[in-house]
Amino acid sequence: MNKAVALRTARSVCPHDCPSACALDVDVIDSHTIGRVRGAKDDPYTAGVICEKVARYAERVHHPDRLTQPLRRSGPKGSGQFTPISWDEALDEIAARFTAIENEHGAEAIWPYYYAGTMGHVHRDGIDRLRAAKGYSHQYDTICTGTAWPGYIAGTGMLGGVNPEQMAESDCVVIWGTNAVHTQVNVMTHAMRAKKERKAKIVVIDIYETATMAQADLGLVLRPGTDGALAVAVMHVLLRDNLADRDYMAKYTDFGPDFEAHLATKTPEWAAEITGLSVEQITAFAHLVGTTPRSYFRLGYGFTRQRNGSTAMHAALCIPAMTGAWQHRGGGAFHSNSGTWKLDKSRITGSYLQKGNPRSLDMSEIGPVLTGDAKALKGGGPVMAMIVQNTNPASVAPDQTLTHRGFAREDLFLVVHEQFMTETAEFADIVLPATMFLEHNDYYTRGGHTRVLYGPAVIERLAGTWSNHEVINALALRLGLDDDLFRTRDRDVVAETFRRSNYGELDEIEKSGFVDRERPDAAARFADGFAWPDKRFRFEPNWEETRLKKGYMWTCDPAAMPRFADHWAITEATDAGHPFRLATSPARAFLNSSFNETPGSQKREGAPSVFIHPDDAVRLGIEEGVFVTVGNRRGSVDLTARIRTGLPTGVLIAEGLHKNKSHRGGKGINTLTNATPAPPFGGATFHDAAVWIRRAD
Ligand SMILES: Nc1nc2c(c(=O)[nH]1)N[C@H]1C(S)=C(S)[C@@H](COP(=O)(O)OP(=O)(O)OC[C@H]3O[C@@H](n4cnc5c(=O)[nH]c(N)nc54)[C@H](O)[C@@H]3O)O[C@H]1N2
Ligand SMILES: Nc1nc2c(c(=O)[nH]1)N[C@H]1C(S)=C(S)[C@@H](COP(=O)(O)OP(=O)(O)OC[C@H]3O[C@@H](n4cnc5c(=O)[nH]c(N)nc54)[C@H](O)[C@@H]3O)O[C@H]1N2
Ligand code: SF4
Ligand SMILES: [Mo]
């Protein structure tokens, strides 16, 4: 940490893929150097609190391993052997190769690939501008939100909910399937305020005792993939014990006799068998939310990373529709506000330049796509070239064996634009060095709250790095595209996007650093009805209408979907050869694979490890700290055993995405996860794997 006196404090925004999008105060020591990073005190959601990994950001932005020169591969694929080249050489070569591949195989053979390494829209989504103008293959975005969002929309009709600041006014905060202490610490700020000031009860629902659960009054540890069973049993108890708000349901929902009959068999005894919870725990939870009008359901992503994740999200969301919690301040539900920005992003994505109607390839299926799976390729030809920005699929994508086999193809031309030599960059033919958020201009939406924030460059860029926006533009011009969109600067694109979206002028917005998109409280709690034509919340989802809301694609037979909110037993089943269920829950000091390069985070997370229940450990002769191998049909991974109470027998938890090479044997945790799209519309099921475990040889 740099102890020098700060020249000034600059306002910025955390760019990482976290629902909090914290407003930051960054100490600027000189035009090239930052010092401490703090959470902005005057931002009501950030409220002066940020996570420790971003507080230490000087470690990341001034890291000695940052890339500063374009590189050309000089050894075999994946060898990590490169020769420095100039930017002109690199861009010329990419343009020449892309053109040759397009001429030989067609534009769809090129697949630009990105995700949310930065959440700034200009530098994240600008890759789509090149894609559209050239008619390259589309990317179907599923990896993170593919199961969660449809499950929520299926109930309410839109992606939005009650302002999360109102958690502080709640009498019961239900933190469901998110380890907020690790993944979005600001949820805890507001929930704990309710606990302190109003003696609110905190409920946490997870598959092991997390740091978040340690703060709970009621912690429910259930078996992975059984949240739907808990939710319908809670509704059974609410009806049975006259705790359902029948007036609210009659006015605001599709509740009827068929759904009531469906719930009649969903007893706590039935759910106890499935979830591993006791009848008393289920009943106590139902009574708590049934007798607390101001119950706030903060629904996370984690529990939707199961094969039945969309239906689980929908089932959990049904509870406040039955208690009528939506009617009360401090009550209701929230998953994401990403459906509320109303941004015109055409200057970023170049949507109006779209050429042809190319196929859309599922990003979670990158392994099958690159290894020639006909279904994943949508009946088209192979992918022959990629440009990757803002993501590290060699580490984060499911079914790592296939992903690596694909990246190792000698006939795949791979360009990776990165800040560090990630495990994806190591596979590249050309590596391009990228700026960081403190070195470029962008705006950020905050899915976990109500604001859109502006983050200007606060220091000079590290010499040799280019921003995503610049790379996309330079490449487009070399590929013969001459639309003025490819001659823009990042700040101007932000300004124009704000103008087109009726947000106002950037010069003005910059003074406060944000636009508040908070909707009127009544709208956020659907007081005038839910976002379906009949204005009713749906206990009986219409998945086809849900699909149409966002242009999703079916990945299963529509007739297979359960009719009502339900437990859908389709997770990867254990059997004699694979008796354990593995979840790959988030590590506190890493953010996906980001920060696994910073010393502070590496120190905190230590070696890649797996939590196992003491009874299982004794039975299998596994002692604390020994090497174990965890495996399944897709491969096997070496980890260090950590014996823990606080998780069910038969369940294993491996926190975090350590570098693949930090694992003995070099295979990362995603070797064990699967790339088969979840129903109904795709999504990766990172916490859903049946595995075996044994002491390593
Ligand atoms: N420190 C840190 N912060 C992060 C990230 C990170 O990797 N590390 N990732 C970022 C990203 S990209 C995202 S999308 C968000 C995600 O943040 P979250 O919404 O918190 O989702 P997950 O991190 O997937 O998992 C949260 C919890 O779900 C639990 N879980 C798994 N399966 C089940 C289940 O079947 N039922 C229940 N009830 N719980 C289950 C896991 O054990 C885990 O504790 O976090 C962001 N923030
Ligand atoms: N096993 C397991 N796997 C998971 C998950 C899990 O829970 N378990 N979570 C999944 C989820 S929710 C998600 S969202 C994905 C996320 O996966 P990724 O989107 O791949 O997230 P990161 O690993 O953080 O990688 C982002 C990369 O972008 C780079 N980057 C950051 N800013 C910029 C920039 O401005 N320009 C360029 N060119 N690069 C930049 C960073 O250096 C980093 O290497 O991972 C998924 N993978
Ligand atoms: S909590 Fe999330 S948004 Fe806030 S600083 Fe940390 S990673 Fe960034
Ligand atoms: Mo994510």
pLDDT of residue 1 exceeding 60, the answer is no
* SS3 (DSSP) at 575: strand
Token pair listed for 551 = 């242009």
- Point out the domain boundary residue: 272, 301, 333: 333
Does residue 652 fall inside a structural domain?
yes
The reply to whether the predicted model has a pTM over 0.75 is yes
428 and 373 share one domain: yes
**Does residue 683 fall inside a structural domain?**
yes
Centre of ligand 4 to C-alpha 177, Å, is 13
One domain, residues 178 and 288: yes
What is the rounded distance in angstroms from the CA atom of residue 303 to the CA atom of residue 314? 11
> Is the CB–ligand 2 distance for residue 584 below 6 Å?
yes
Residue 328 shares a structural domain with residue 392: no
Q: Do both 312 and 407 map to the same domain?
A: no
Q: Beta strands 113-114 and 138-140: pairing type? A: unpaired
Contact predicate 632/692, CB 8 Å: yes
Q: Which of 310, 687, 688 to mutate to test the pocket of ligand 1 (most atoms within 8 A of CB)?
A: 687
Query: Nearest residue CA, atom 2 of ligand 3?
Result: 18
Please give the torsion angle defined by the CA atoms of residues 232, 237, 240 and 242, in that order, rounded to the nearest 10 degrees: -110
Residue 318 domain boundaries:
161-333
Examine residue 679 and state whether it is found in any structural domain, yes or no: yes
Q: What is the mean pLDDT of residues 624-640?
A: 98
651 half-sphere exposure, CB direction, 13 A CA radius: 24
Does 84 fall in a domain? yes
Tokens of 658: 């350590």
User: Ligand 1: residues whose CB is within 6 Å?
Assistant: 17-18, 144, 177-179, 182-184, 205-208, 210, 224-225, 227, 300-303, 305-306, 583, 585-588, 590-592, 687
Q: Confirm or reject: Cβ of 391 under 6 Å from ligand 2.
A: yes
Ligand 2 atom with least separation from CA of 436: 35
CATH label of the domain that carries residue 36: 2.20.25.90
**Residue nearest atom 44 of ligand 1, based on CA coordinates:** 179
Distance from residue 592's CA to the centre of ligand 4 (Å): 8
- Cβ atoms within 10 A of the Cβ of 49, count? 18
Share of the chain above pLDDT 90, in %: 97
Instruction: Assign residue 641 the CATH number of its domain.
Output: 2.40.40.20
Residues 309 and 372 in one domain: no
Phi, psi (rounded to 5 degrees) for 133: -65, -30
**Burial of 512 per CB tally in 10 Å (0-12, 13-18, 19+):** middle
Same domain, 270 and 349: no
In a domain, 55, yes or no: yes
Q: Residues 389-424: pLDDT tens digits? A: 999 999 999 999 999 999 999 999 999 999 999 999
Give the E-state strand segments of 375-503 in sequence order. 385-389, 413-418, 430-433, 442-445, 451-455
Residue 456 lies in a domain: no
What pLDDT does residue 277 have? 98
Please say if the pLDDT value at position 574 is more than 50. Answer: yes
Q: Which of ligand 2's atoms lies nearest the C-alpha of 115?
A: 19
CATH number of domain containing 354: 3.40.50.740
Q: Which ligand has an atom closest to residue 653 CA?
A: 1
- Count of domains in the chain? 4
DSSP-assigned states of every residue in 264-320: HT--HHHHHHHH---HHHHHHHHHHHHH-SSEEEEE-SGGGSSTTHHHHHHHHHHHH
Atom of ligand 2 nearest to the CA of 670: 1
Same domain for 201 and 325: yes
Q: How far apart are CA 326 and CA 333, in angstroms?
A: 7
176 and 304 inside one domain: yes
Is 543 among the domain residues? no
Give the Cα separation of 623 and 641 in Å (integer): 7
Residues 427 and 305 in one domain: no
Confirm whether 187 is domain-assigned: yes
DSSP codes, 42-76: TSTTTTT---HHHHTTHHHHT-TT---S-EEE-SS
- What spacing in Å lies between the alpha carbon of 516 and ligand 1's midpoint? 26
120 plus 175 within the same structural domain: no
300 and 396 in a single domain? The answer is: no
Nearest-CA residue for ligand 3 atom 6 is 51
The burial class, CB within 10 Å (0-12 / 13-18 / 19+), for 646 is middle
Do 175 and 282 fall within a single domain? Answer: yes
What local confidence, expressed as pLDDT, does residue 3 receive?
Answer: 58
Cβ 116 under 6 angstroms from ligand 3? no
Q: What is the pLDDT of residue 314?
A: 98
pLDDT of residue 5: 78
Query: Measured in Å, how far apart are the chain's first and last C-alpha atoms?
Result: 41
